[in-house]
Amino acid sequence: MRSGAGSHLRRLGCRLSALLLVAACADPETGAADPTLAEVAPPYPSGPTAIAVGATLPNLAFEGLSTEGQRATLQLADYYRPDEAAPRVLVVQVSGGLWCGTCLWTGTHVDEIVGPERLSRLDRLDLIVSDRDNAPASADEDADAWRDGVGAEGVAVGVDPDFVLRAALEGVTKPMPLLLLVDEGTMTLLDVMSDPTPGELASAIDRALAELDGEAPPAPVGDVLVDGLFDRKEWSLFVAMADVPAAPPPDPTNEVADSPAARRLGEALFFDAGLSASGEVSCATCHDPVTSLSDDRPRAIGEGQGSRRTPSIALASHSRWQGWDGRADSLWAQALGPLESPLEHGASRVLVARRVIERHARLYHAAFPRTPLPSPRGWPAQGKPGDATFDALAEEEREAITQVFVHVGKALAAYERTFRVRPTRFDAYINGDSKALTSDEKVGMKAFATSGCIQCHFGPRLTNDAFHDTGVGGEVDAGRLEGLELWRRSEFRADGAWAAEPVSREAGTDGEAMRGRFKTPPLRGVAGRAFFSHAGQAASLEEVMDGYGQGDGEAWVVKVGETAQWSMVEFLEVMRER
């Protein structure tokens, strides 16, 4: 950090240079400065430059939106003001994006934390690294979404998909967001904070302004702690987590999403092993209500063994994308995939339609009275697109079979939308029962916040529905990269012909950036499950946390120390339904 006297001398030198430039170009008769030159911004400091505390930042440029909301290239030179009478500070917030809970909270509350007196001497630049799904951010789509998401009207928002400002931390992994304080008179980086508390942020700005004014820093701003542990940001995020999910959001793509008749059909189908090639595999085989709608196995076993763990689907109806890799964008589309997968049900749409006609005709007619079941005369025993037997059928027959198949998916989704979760001791604690958690569990809850877990595990379901590489191991798997390709090729998309009301889904950027990334699992009820992570590579919560102590994942995934690992297991055990 520079001394206050040094910063004053440097700023005075910049001001003097600017004044001499204007004076040299003044009208020799009137002494008035050339008005065209008076509007020219001073040249950016020539360097040397570096992205480090105490150094002059390079004149970085970011694509995004200006303060007026117009598409623009934002440069740090835009904030270079060597001739200001009162020194000013640029606050650069670098956020993961809308997937990041701590980023959202800070972005929403930063002006309030800073307060009007400090704000009068600050400028703000928000930078986002990735989009809602954790794909590389796009200036044309994600800058505006961030501004709307945090209510940052009038704030310049740029995208930093390469995360160039990560260098300010000198390679140290820290949780997001990053807050950089920059002296606008010299473009020197004064301070860098990782996910600061409200008091830490306010205190850092006070120190920066005092230094630029050549004054002693004021006393630090303290954080008022709830239960002696949790600062305002942490507690606010925890309160939002304790909003136990009830009814799922509407699904306009499914015309029977909340139909009682469709639910009854869906329940019968969910437990029907006749929808599989062997007659032995049902939806409930892997999603057993007795085992938290999972199967207590490291890898799913249907007609064959899969490469991934069966996730609990208790809260799937709330999810933006379905499955570990997000290959489906609706609950009904997800339900159709396993039916035709050779490793799961091993069936086909022809077999499924035949089974509905033979065993579920009455329930089907009640759920879909306007769509009579077709006659299966002339159909093969099995068949789906790409099979010669199916492709040989007349187009009208293929469409009729697929219509029944789609209705099966929508009925299954209607049933799955009835799944609910029960409150946990965590919810009781947040809602006022201070004795619902032990002191060790509260310490674990604090570690859950300070170790960056609530970057991704936030909200009522404790998930952001985004895709991440946490670096905790598992077999090589394309993850979201494959899921995006399967989604793009799917005939059962939310914006496709089989959707009741087509809904567009923003899928972000594909490519190698998404390889090996998997959807963040919800943590509600996590302690009641067996095996964890996408490939079931962890047999216990202790093994999960040990992985976070060794992993080398994304830049904001903190390597958790042994003490925090132990305490967080105590907290995660609280997430057992009562």
> Judging by DSSP bridges, how do beta strands 71-75 and 178-183 pair with one another?
unpaired
Are residues 410 and 430 both part of a single domain?
no
Q: Would you say residue 495 lies in a domain? A: no
**Ramachandran class of 14: left when φ > 0, alpha when ψ lies in -120 to 50, beta otherwise:** alpha
Neighbours of 571 (CB within 10 A): 24
Is residue 281's pLDDT more than 70? yes
Q: What local confidence, expressed as pLDDT, does residue 40 receive?
A: 57
Residue spans of beta strands (DSSP E) within 11-118: 61-65, 71-75, 89-95
Q: How many domains does the chain have?
A: 3
**Overall average pLDDT of the 249-260 stretch:** 98
What is the tens place of the pLDDT at every residue in 319-329? 999 999 999 99
Percent helix, strand, coil in the chain, to 5, is 40, 10, 50
Q: How far is CA 268 from CA 276, 294, 349, 373, in A?
A: 14, 18, 17, 17
Q: How far apart are CA 478 and CA 516, in angstroms?
A: 5
Q: What local confidence, expressed as pLDDT, does residue 472 receive?
A: 78
Q: What local confidence, expressed as pLDDT, does residue 552 receive?
A: 77
Are residues 162 and 286 both part of a single domain?
no
Are residues 162 and 302 both part of a single domain?
no
Q: What percent of the chain has pLDDT over 90?
A: 83
Q: What local confidence, expressed as pLDDT, does residue 475 receive?
A: 64
Are residues 430 and 361 both part of a single domain?
no
**Overall average pLDDT of the 485-489 stretch:** 94
Residues 6+ apart with CB under 8 A from 534: 308, 309, 324, 474, 477, 479, 518
Are residues 21 and 160 both part of a single domain?
yes
What is the tens place of the pLDDT at every residue in 158-188? 999 999 999 998 877 789 999 999 999 999 9
CATH number of residue 54's parent domain:
3.40.30.10
Q: How far apart are CA 322 and CA 344, in angstroms?
A: 16
What is the value of pTM for the model shown?
Answer: 0.91
What is the tens place of the pLDDT at every residue in 77-129? 999 999 888 999 999 999 999 999 999 999 999 999 999 989 999 999 999 99
Are residues 199 and 118 both part of a single domain?
yes
Residues 6+ apart with CB under 8 A from 78: none
Is residue 578's pLDDT more than 90? no
Q: Would you say residue 229 lies in a domain? A: no
Q: Would you say residue 489 lies in a domain? A: no
**What kind and span of H or E run contains 519?**
strand 518-519
Are residues 150 and 269 both part of a single domain?
no
Q: Using CB atoms within 10 Å of the CB of residue 538, give its burial: 0 to 12 exposed, 13 to 18 middle, 19+ buried.
A: buried
Q: Would you say residue 180 lies in a domain? A: yes
Are residues 367 and 405 both part of a single domain?
yes
**Overall average pLDDT of the 544-560 stretch:** 87
Cβ–Cβ < 8 Å for 262, 414: yes
Cβ–Cβ < 8 Å for 326, 517: no
Q: How far is CA 568 from CA 9, 106, 276, 430, 564, in A?
A: 50, 23, 41, 17, 6
Are residues 378 and 521 both part of a single domain?
no
Q: What local confidence, expressed as pLDDT, does residue 367 receive?
A: 98
What is the tens place of the pLDDT at every residue in 214-237? 999 999 999 999 999 999 999 999
Is residue 155's pLDDT more than 60? yes
Q: How far apart are CA 99 and CA 177, in angstroms?
A: 12
Q: What percent of the chain has pLDDT over 70?
A: 92
Mean pLDDT of the chain: 91
Q: What local confidence, expressed as pLDDT, does residue 41 receive?
A: 65
What is the tens place of the pLDDT at every residue in 438-455? 999 999 999 999 999 999
Single out the residue of 400, 343, 408, 344 nearest to residue 372, CA to CA: 400
CATH number of residue 310's parent domain:
1.10.760.10
Q: What local confidence, expressed as pLDDT, does residue 7 receive?
A: 43
**Ramachandran class of 94: left when φ > 0, alpha when ψ lies in -120 to 50, beta otherwise:** beta
Q: How far is CA 216 from CA 203, 212, 240, 510, 572, in A?
A: 13, 10, 39, 51, 44
Residues 6+ apart with CB under 8 A from 433: none
**CB environment 201-223: b (16+ within 10 A), e (fewer):** bbbbbbbbbebbeeeeeeeebeb
Is residue 474's pLDDT more than 90? no
Q: Would you say residue 509 lies in a domain? A: no
Is residue 72's pLDDT more than 60? yes
Is residue 6's pLDDT more than 50? no
Q: Would you say residue 401 lies in a domain? A: yes
Q: How far apart are CA 354 and CA 401, in angstroms?
A: 9
Q: Would you say residue 327 lies in a domain? A: yes
The radius of gyration of the chain's CA atoms, rounded to the nearest angstrom, is: 29
Domain containing 545 equals: 238-245+423-477+516-574
Q: Using CB atoms within 10 Å of the CB of residue 20, give its burial: 0 to 12 exposed, 13 to 18 middle, 19+ buried.
A: exposed
Single-letter code of the amino acid located at 445: M
Cβ–Cβ < 8 Å for 203, 220: yes
Cβ–Cβ < 8 Å for 89, 184: yes
Cβ–Cβ < 8 Å for 493, 552: no
Q: What local confidence, expressed as pLDDT, does residue 376 receive?
A: 97
Are residues 387 and 457 both part of a single domain?
no
Residues 6+ apart with CB under 8 A from 419: 293, 313, 314, 315, 316, 317
Task: Dump the DSSP string for 261-329.
Answer: HHHHHHHHHHT-GGGSSSS---HHHHSBGGGTTB-SSSS-BSSSB-SSPPPP-TTGGG-SSBTTTT-BS
Hey, which residues does 518 pair with through a beta bridge? 468
Q: How far apart are CA 181 and CA 54, in angstroms?
A: 11
Are residues 294 and 399 both part of a single domain?
yes
Is residue 68's pLDDT more than 50? yes
Q: Would you say residue 278 lies in a domain? A: yes
Are residues 289 and 194 both part of a single domain?
no
**Overall average pLDDT of the 238-266 stretch:** 97
**Overall average pLDDT of the 495-524 stretch:** 90
